Amino acid sequence: HECAKVRHACKGHAQCRVPLAGYLCRQQQHPMKFFIDTASLAQIKEAQDLGVLDGVTTNPSLMAKEGISGHDRVMKHYVDICNIVDGDVSAEVIATDYAGMIKEGEDLAALHPNIVVKVPMTRDGVKAIKYFTGKGIKTNCTLVFSAGQALLAAKAGATYVSPFVGRLDDVSTDGVQLIEQIRVIYDNYGYGTEILAASIRHPMHIIQCAEVGADVATCPLSAITALFDHPLTTIGLEKFLADHKKAATAVKA
């Protein structure tokens, strides 16, 4: 367990609380989780086979991309996803009013214990998150672009908050910096809401989010697989195998 002097005291872990004022605790409650951000069953299976997948996030755009529409097909698709991955699966409500969100969210939550009801950051959305929290239903507050919005999501008891890193970068605002800011705020008060870095576009986003202490990164498959590759690994392995073959041939001769 290690605490580095950065900018504030850890209030989350008993070991760091008292003597380390002025220090930031770098130990998260759990290792960083990798979610895949897609509704493609093929891609979810591929990521699952890699052995590093902890969950899935979807949204209405990703469902539409897979051609999934109509109430029954949508519901079946979420169950299919839950049957592939042993981890949280975010399913987003379409309703924008409180009563509609509650009805939809309860139906989604009843599909499978791993379903997390994804709710947009709006006034009705935050109220709905508070309701779901009281009912023990897991939530993911989506479309978060500011620290103030993240604070509201945590106060409502959201299981996850989803700041959109890539979409902030798109408008010349540092998305990773927002993750860092939310980390500081949540650690100041010991909020249990997990920071789920969303709109991840490439492997450096994943690494930067890990550096600043995101709890989860939800990524396209391409960003996850890019983490595996390094030219020196490829060259090194080729050399090991060539040397092994040479030695085997020499023994035979």
Please state the closest distance from residue 221 (CB atom) to ligand G3P, in A.
Answer: 13
Q: Please identify which residue in 114, 139, 208, 218 interacts with ligand G3P, judged by CB under 6 A.
A: 218
Please state the closest distance from residue 198 (CB atom) to ligand G3P, in A.
Answer: 3
- What is d(CA 77, CA 166) in angstroms, rounded to the nearest whole number? 26
Please state the closest distance from residue 57 (CB atom) to ligand G3P, in A.
Answer: 5
Coil, helix or strand at residue 64: helix
Any contact of residue 208 with ligand G3P (CB under 6 A)? no
**Residue entry with tokens 């897609």:** 38
Residue type, 20: L
Adjacent-strand bridge partners of 160: 140, 194
Please state the closest distance from residue 237 (CB atom) to ligand G3P, in A.
Answer: 33
Please state the closest distance from residue 90 (CB atom) to ligand G3P, in A.
Answer: 8
Q: Please identify which residue in 28, 166, 184, 226 interacts with ligand G3P, judged by CB under 6 A.
A: 166
Q: Distance of CA 220 to CAs 74, 155, 179, 225, Å?
A: 21, 29, 18, 9
| Nearest CB to ligand G3P, comparing residues 20 and 74 | 74
- What is d(CA 158, CA 156) in angstroms, rounded to the nearest whole number? 6
- What is d(CA 211, CA 45) in angstroms, rounded to the nearest whole number? 28
| Phi and psi angles of residue 129, each rounded to the nearest 5 degrees, phi first | -60, -45
Coil, helix or strand at residue 200: coil
Nearest to 200 by CA among 179, 223, 216, 182: 223
Any contact of residue 198 with ligand G3P (CB under 6 A)? yes
Any contact of residue 167 with ligand G3P (CB under 6 A)? yes
Is 252 annotated as catalytic?
Answer: no
For residue 117, how many other CB atoms are within 10 A of its CB? 25
| Nearest CB to ligand G3P, comparing residues 3 and 208 | 208
| Nearest CB to ligand G3P, comparing residues 127 and 201 | 201
Binding part of the chain for ligand G3P, among 175-183, 197-205, 207-215, 234-242 by CB under 6 A, reads 197-205
Selected catalytic residue, list 45, 76, 103, 118: 118
Binding site for ligand G3P (CB under 6 A): 37, 57, 59, 162, 164, 166-167, 198-199, 201, 218
